[in-house]
Amino acid sequence: MIVAVTYSNGNVFAHFGETKELKVYTIEDNKIVSSKVVGVGDASHIALVPVIKATGATVLICGGMGGHAAQALKAQGIEVYNNASGNADEAVLSFIAGNLTFDESKLHVCSHHH
């Protein structure tokens, strides 16, 4: 399984649409077997969806995000676990342990989204 995390300086980046990096993890037998940091180029907001899809990820862990992005990711077969924070590696370990969830009530409506 491949898990992508919005990433900055070791932590889950707080705003999905403004992330500049993803940390992409390979999970086997409920263990992290490898990880790498990848840049997203100029992609932002909804344009991040194909970038994430191209990593092979079937799961995205992030901080805040808007509803349109969550819907677009789900439409691509990518599970979303929003409202994560803190150390990215620990967030992935929490996911593996079954301690992360998708919280629709935490989806944000940004002023630049209508």
Residue 79, domain CATH = 3.30.420.130
Q: Are 108 and 87 in contact (CB under 8 A)?
A: no
Which H or E element spans position 24? strand 21-28
pLDDT at 67: 85
Sign of CA dihedral 29, 35, 39, 45: positive
Q: How many domains would you assign to the chain? A: 1
**Whole-model pTM?**
0.91
b/e map of 26-59 (b: 16 or more CB within 10 Å)? ebeeeeeeebeeeebeebebbebbebbbebebbb
Per-residue pLDDT of the chain (114 residues; tens, 9 = 90+): 999 999 999 999 999 999 999 999 999 999 999 999 999 999 999 999 999 999 999 999 999 898 889 999 999 999 999 989 999 999 999 999 999 988 676 665 554 444
Quick check: is 114 in a domain? no
pLDDT at 107: 67
State which residues form the domain around 17: 2-106
Quick check: is 113 in a domain? no
pLDDT at 38: 97
